[in-house]
Structure 1
Amino acid sequence: MSYSVGQVSAFAGVTVRTLHHYDKAGLLSPSDRSDAGYRLYGDADPVRLQQILFYRELGFSLDEIASMLKAPFPTALDHLRARQRQLTPQERFEVFGEITFDLSYATEAELKWARSDGQREAMARAAAHTMEDWRQLMGEAAAWRAELRAAFDEGEPSDGERAMDLAEEHRLHVSRWFTSCPPDMHRRIADDFVADPRAFALVVPPSQQRPGLAAYTCRAVHANAARHTTGRTDSEEHR
């Protein structure tokens, strides 16, 4: 299926001028042209645009983005990308918005943890999710982000019950949708939130972040993990 520059502009929320700029920069060239010479984008083009927009949010230059987009992706990510291609472009932007799993960080994680059973399970389960699965899990994630930002903005301590409960909710979300996430694993995930902005951007999109929120989330996760050393939490018992 082909999409005009106006259609892509509308469902991606970018200007036609931006799309023309990406075309001239060699980042996103239309797959085809109409008989009248107008740009026509194919099904794969909006996926690439979503990546470009995400990287731009993180502050990467167009040259850096071009280099990242040329990098080969591991097999598991190819499967996930193939699953996402079953959605229409409008559905992809509706469901995922700024969040996308076909990223340089996901690639590095796949290479780093290629022998990890948890990583293999997470990628396999992600690739198998239906669109309705993604709608549900992304809806849960959006509601959780709103609660996290509220707790942070209201000055709740990161080691307080409210913040720890939110950390526990995130841990169980990962376990429910991707792979078993014991407290020690959750600590390592949270450490990446502080060490690599791309990791936290997979949880809280850049436009929704606040200065210090990644570190706050990391501390809450560590506090919740420490809470597990004294016994199982209520949420764990009712999982």
Structure 2
Amino acid sequence: MEYTIKKISELAGISSRTLRFYDEIKLLKPARINSSGYRIYAQKEVDRLQQILVYRKLGLSLEDIKAIMDNPDFDEIKTLRSHYRALLIQQQQLSKLIDTVEKTLMTKEGAGSMTNIEKFEGLKRERVRKNEDQYGTESRTLYGTDQVTDSNQKMLNMNQEKFQAFEELEEAIFVQLKKAMNTKNVSSIESQKLARMHKEWLSYTWTTYSTKAHVGLVNLYLADPRFVLYYDNRVGQGGTQFLKDAVIHFTNK
């Protein structure tokens, strides 16, 4: 079956202008141009558009989507399974978040009360949601959808004691980073303690640890102004750079 640009735009719920733009950037080319000069799309293009829209829902940029889908090693079945898992996790998170908001409203309106456990579960889901909103695209590009999804699930599975320890360690890292910066030496005892603490902090959510992934993360920190602000605002200018250098020294030992 073939579709005109108008028909496929209605089918997908996007504008014809968007489809023309996808054609211009060679993300989604029509199957052919008919004698009247109209773009015509076949089933292959419909399937590709579906994948593009799923990626967009997951927060990926058009540039990243094109790079992934044009990769000769692109595995459509494996990718769809990964998307399916990620969407199920998001569905569960959204459902639980809605439940938390409903109970909060009931509490505020005097119609019910939230237990500490319910409040704690809401905090975890909110942290995962915030991380996804702010850094989800970069994380999935760096580590892959499966690893990010598994990491999110690992956080959601934390009990209250472990989640509290995770957050306390994050605060302790800021304190240790200040101490390490005062030494002005990335090989100092304080600096290497900082790197070990950062590794331990990652282990709370990472399913597997590797020095390569650790270095990749701190390189991402320094390349992303949001991460630079996050660390430098807490410990002073140069904090993100020092953390990166300390981790690289630690992983090279």
Q: TM-score normalised to the size of structure 2?
A: 0.48
- Structure 1: tracts of 5 or more residues without a match: 1-70, 228-239
Counterpart check, 1:164 vs 2:198: no
Counterpart check, 1:128 vs 2:157: yes
Counterpart check, 1:106 vs 2:135: yes
**What does residue 218 of structure 2 align with?**
190
Q: 1:81 to 1:148 in 2, by over 3 A?
A: farther
How big is the shift at 1:157?
0.8
Counterpart check, 1:219 vs 2:248: no
Q: How does 1:25-174 map to 2 (within 5 A)?
A: 72-73=57-58, 75=87, 76=89, 79-80=92-93, 86=100, 102-103=130-131, 104-113=133-142, 115=144, 117-152=146-181, 154-174=182-202
**Alignment deviations for residues 65-124 of structure 1 (CA, whole Å, 9 cap, x no partner):** xxxxxx8456345655666664969967xx78xx77524333213542574543232122
**Bigger share in helix:** 2
**What does residue 231 of structure 1 align with?**
none
Q: Max radius of gyration: which structure?
A: 2
**What does residue 64 of structure 2 align with?**
none
1:223 aligned partner, one-letter code? H
Aligned residues of 1:113 and 1:119 also touching (Cα < 8 A): no
How big is the shift at 1:184?
1.1
Percent of aligned pairs with the same amino acid:
13
User: Which has the larger displacement, 182-191 or 168-177?
Assistant: 168-177
Partner Cα separation in structure 2 for residue 145 and residue 72 of structure 1? 34
Q: 1:72 to 1:120 in 2, by over 3 A?
A: closer
Q: Which has the higher contact order (CA 8 A, sep 6+)?
A: 1
Q: How does 1:203-214 map to 2 (within 5 A)?
A: 204=231, 207-214=233-240
Q: What stretches of structure 1 move > 4 A for 4+ residues in a row?
A: 71-74, 76-92
How big is the shift at 1:135?
1.8
Aligned length: 152
**Alignment deviations for residues 38-80 of structure 1 (CA, whole Å, 9 cap, x no partner):** xxxxxxxxxxxxxxxxxxxxxxxxxxxxxxxxx8456345655
Partner Cα separation in structure 1 for residue 135 and residue 158 of structure 2? 17
2:209 aligned partner, one-letter code? C
Aligned residues of 1:77 and 1:102 also touching (Cα < 8 A): no
Partner Cα separation in structure 2 for residue 150 and residue 101 of structure 1? 31
Q: 1:211 to 1:170 in 2, by over 3 A?
A: same
Q: Secondary structure at the match of 1:102?
A: helix
Q: TM-score normalised to the size of structure 1?
A: 0.51
